[in-house]
């Protein structure tokens, strides 16, 4: 998979993500020169090409002079959860929009989540668009693919992790104990959480709304709920 953008490369370098090749444009730019020098120091494979080559590789003119071939994206195994102390998980039940996925990843990283879980089928997967929208933060969090979300929830509940599903019918989120270990389930943009997944949750939580608004964009809901989890688990007094 080829991803693009200067901030994406910076996150890749910061997280020591494996790369196959880094392509730089031949533009005279101080920031690009600094990135090239950093890549040289790390002895990573790179080449310099004209803008048209980068445009062809990235399928966009907005590559900022950087395209990175990271090969196949590395999803993590479910077993990694067993090694986490008081996990904070985000479960996405058949999310479809890559822009929503990327935005949720960025929020999850910022709020301290340990992993995001998506189903193997009928769901958005990691794509260059997802990476771009996440501004490269995807390389700072575990992304796990599972065959069966309902079974996955059953398994993590047996580990002592509390599972809360976001739904229009539920307890108000800020009146709910969201201390870790915890998993927040967010559903499909149109249909929400599937019934068989919903019934596996320990409880449902809702975001109260006024003026007859029925729902929020799923990435907005994620921001509200994930930051409430962070708030309840952090001491901000200092």
pLDDT digits (tens, 9 = 90+) for 27-86: 888 999 999 999 999 999 999 999 999 999 999 999 999 999 999 999 999 999 999 999
| Mean pLDDT, all residues of the chain | 95
Per the CB < 8 A criterion, the answer to whether 64 and 58 are in contact is no
Q: What is the pLDDT of residues 184-193, one digit of tens each?
A: 999 999 999 9
Res. 237: pLDDT tops 80: no
Closest CA to 45 of 15, 67, 64: 67
pLDDT band at 238 (very low <50, low <70, confident <90, very high): very low
Give 157-186 pLDDT, tens digit per residue: 999 999 999 999 999 999 999 999 999 999
Cβ neighbours of residue 129 closer than 8 Å, sequence gap 6 or more: 98, 99, 102
- Residue 90 above 70 pLDDT? yes
Question: What is the per-residue DSSP string for 186-231?
Answer: E-BTTTBS-HHHHTTSSEEEE----TT-----HHHHHHHHHHHHHH
| Dihedral pair phi/psi, residue 70, rounded to 5° | -100, 5
For residues 204 and 122, give the distance between their C-alpha atoms in angstroms, rounded to a whole number.
23
Residue holding tokens 């490269």?
136
DSSP for 62-91, written as a single string: --TTEEEE--S--PBPGGGGGG-SS-EEEE
Give the pLDDT band of residue 236 (cuts 50, 70, 90).
low
> pLDDT per residue over 127-145, tens digit each?
999 999 999 999 999 999 9
What domains can be seen in the chain, in order of their start residue? 2-69 (3.30.1330.30), 78-233 (3.40.1280.10)
Q: Nearest to residue 103, comparing CAs of 119, 90, 120?
A: 90
Instruction: Give percent of the chain with pLDDT exceeding 70.
Output: 98
What single DSSP character describes residue 181? Answer: S
Task: Give the pTM.
Answer: 0.93
Q: How many CB atoms lie within 10 A of CB 238?
A: 3
Strands (E), 1-78: 2-4, 21-25, 46-49, 66-69
CB of 80 closer than 8 Å to CB of 87: no
- Whose tokens are 């929503």? That residue is 100
Partnered with residue 119 across adjacent β-strands are 146
**What one-character DSSP code corresponds to residue 2?**
E
Give φ, ψ of 231 to 5 degrees: -60, -45
Is residue 166 classed as helix, strand or coil in its secondary structure?
strand
């Amino acid at each position: 998979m080829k991803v693009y953008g200067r901030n994406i490369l910076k996150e890749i370098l910061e997280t020591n993500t494996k790369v196959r090749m880094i392509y730089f444009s031949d533009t005279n730019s101080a920031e690009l020169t600094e990135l090239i020098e950093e890549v040289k120091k790390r002895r990573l494979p790179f080449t310099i090409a004209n803008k048209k080559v980068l445009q062809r590789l990235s399928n966009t003119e907005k590559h900022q002079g950087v395209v990175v071939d990271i090969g196949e994206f590395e999803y993590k195994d479910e077993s990694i959860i067993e090694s986490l102390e008081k996990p904070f998980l985000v479960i996405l039940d058949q999310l479809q929009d890559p822009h929503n996925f990327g935005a949720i990843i960025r929020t999850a990283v910022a709020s301290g989540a340990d992993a995001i879980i998506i189903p193997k089928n009928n769901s958005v997967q990691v794509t260059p668009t997802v990476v771009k929208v996440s501004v490269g933060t995807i390389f700072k969090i575990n992304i796990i693919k599972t065959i069966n979300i309902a079974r996955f929830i059953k398994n993590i509940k047996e580990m002592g992790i509390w599972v809360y599903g976001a739904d229009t019918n539920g307890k108000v989120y800020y009146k709910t104990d969201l201390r870790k270990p915890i998993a927040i389930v967010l559903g499909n943009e149109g249909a929400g959480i599937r019934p068989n997944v919903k019934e596996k949750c320990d409880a449902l939580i809702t975001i109260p709304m006024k003026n007859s608004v029925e729902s929020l964009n799923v990435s907005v809901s994620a921001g509200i709920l994930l930051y409430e989890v962070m708030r309840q688990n952090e001491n901000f007094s200092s």
